[in-house]
């Protein structure tokens, strides 16, 4: 059994989500319904999109500490410019994606530590967000609100969207040729370069994809919250990192799992609901979420070590 978990990394995230879901239904049987599941995973979509964005950066052996501030900025743009002047809003969001790609190129060109650059950029994104929306407000564009609140017949929107995000990302990163090359940058960048690929362009592409999913996360968040503020998604930085690792990803080697990352994001979203059902004080919930994460990661480490010893 341990060897099976070690070989198929996706099994542990799936098991973690399943156990947490069963425990939630046990504590609150009424949640075992279309409406109940929709409430449980209400904020899972923007968290999943942010986690995929972080995965794009971790895939090339970097880490992004500015993602939460970036998602907050895109949320502010969505609730103001995109709602009031759609064309200007679209242009600004495209510019932000290109800026993210430029950061990736800059990091590689000057061999800068990504953790330091992105930490600095978090203040830039945060400052821009405050300039655009000094106080909480704005409004979600009608079409975004409609998309995020649609009610599919078989499963809640959050579940359907999570499946679509996982499927599309899996095809792009795990099955396509360019996805294989991008993961190769994290695994062995020199070999990729010797094969004739431009590392600076690949890094820019990885960060550009992260920017795209970060923009989508901000738009989805506004669609659910109906408004925005400059700090609306600040916790997404740590949540996205946790989601990637929880889903079977690693900080080095280009080892990531698109499906696992989305499942990790769903697990984190569900953990918040589970802790609320336990009537745990909000002051303790963050620590409890961390404890759940540490427990799962410890189990994964045990499985990985056992597999190496047997090998």
Q: Give the pLDDT score at 1.
A: 46
Give 3's pLDDT tier (boundaries 50, 70, 90). Answer: very low
The rounded distance, in Å, linking the Cα atoms of 117 and 135 is 27
Q: What mean pLDDT do residues 26-37 have?
A: 87
Q: What is the pLDDT of residue 223?
A: 96
- Bridge partners of 228, per DSSP, are 137
Q: Is the pLDDT of residue 288 over 80?
A: no
Q: Kindly give, in sequence order, each residue whose CB lies less than 8 Å from that of residue 74, ignoring residues fewer than 6 positions away.
A: 93, 96, 214, 215, 217, 218, 219
Can you state the angle between helices 258-277 and 282-310, rounded to 10 degrees? Answer: 140
Q: What is the mean pLDDT of residues 163-185?
A: 94
What pLDDT does residue 11 have? 78
Q: Comparing 112 with 10, which gets the higher pLDDT? A: 112
Confidence class for position 4, pLDDT limits 50, 70, 90: very low
Split at pLDDT 50, 70, 90, the class of 252 is confident
pLDDT surpasses 80 at 286: no
The band of 292, judged by pLDDT with boundaries at 50, 70 and 90, is low
55 has a pLDDT exceeding 50: yes
Percent of the chain clearing pLDDT 90 (strictly above):
65
Question: How sure is the predictor about 251, in pLDDT bands with cuts at 50, 70 and 90?
Answer: confident
Mean pLDDT of the chain: 89
Confidence of residue 12 (pLDDT cuts 50, 70, 90): confident
pLDDT of res. 14: 87
Q: How far apart are CA 63 and CA 252, in angstroms?
A: 10
| pLDDT for residue 282 | 64
Task: Report the residue count for the chain.
Answer: 311
pLDDT over threshold 90, residue 298 = no
For the residues 281-290, what does the mean pLDDT come to?
66
CA distance 80 to 261: 30
What pLDDT sits at residue 173?
93
Only one residue has tokens 């499946």, namely 163
The answer, yes or no, to whether residue 13 has pLDDT greater than 90, is no
What's the pLDDT band for 112 if we cut at 50, 70, 90? very high
In a 3-state reduction of DSSP, which class is residue 81? helix
pLDDT confidence band for 42 (50 / 70 / 90): confident
């Amino acid at each position: 059994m341990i060897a099976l978990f070690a070989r198929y990394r996706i099994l542990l995230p799936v098991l973690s989500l399943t156990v947490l879901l069963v425990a939630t239904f046990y504590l609150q049987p009424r949640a075992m319904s279309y409406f109940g599941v929709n409430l449980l995973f209400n904020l899972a979509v923007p968290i999943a999109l942010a986690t995929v964005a972080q995965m794009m950066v971790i895939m090339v052996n970097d880490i992004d500490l500015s993602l939460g501030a970036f998602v907050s900025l895109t949320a502010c743009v969505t609730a103001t410019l995109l709602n009031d002047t759609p064309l200007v809003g679209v242009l600004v969001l495209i510019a932000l994606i290109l800026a993210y790609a430029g950061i990736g190129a800059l990091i590689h060109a000057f061999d800068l530590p990504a953790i330091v650059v992105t930490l600095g950029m978090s203040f830039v994104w945060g400052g821009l967000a405050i300039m655009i929306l000094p106080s909480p407000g704005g409004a979600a564009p009608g079409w975004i609100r409609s998309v995020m609140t649609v009610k599919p017949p078989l499963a809640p929107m959050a579940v359907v969207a999570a499946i679509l995000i996982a499927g599309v990302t899996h095809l792009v990163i795990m099955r396509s040729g360019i996805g294989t090359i991008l993961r190769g940058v994290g695994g062995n960048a020199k070999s990729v370069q010797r094969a004739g690929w431009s590392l600076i362009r690949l890094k820019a592409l990885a960060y550009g994809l992260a920017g795209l999913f970060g923009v989508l996360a901000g738009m989805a968040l506004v669609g659910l919250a109906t408004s925005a503020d400059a700090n609306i998604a600040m916790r997404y930085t740590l949540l996205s990192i946790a989601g990637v690792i929880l889903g079977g990803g690693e900080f080095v080697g280009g080892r990531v799992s698109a499906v696992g990352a989305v499942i990790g994001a769903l697990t984190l979203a569900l953990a918040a609901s589970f802790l609320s059902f336990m009537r745990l004080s909000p002051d303790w919930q963050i620590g409890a979420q961390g404890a759940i994460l540490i427990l799962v990661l410890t189990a994964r480490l045990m499985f990985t070590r056992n597999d190496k010893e047997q090998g």
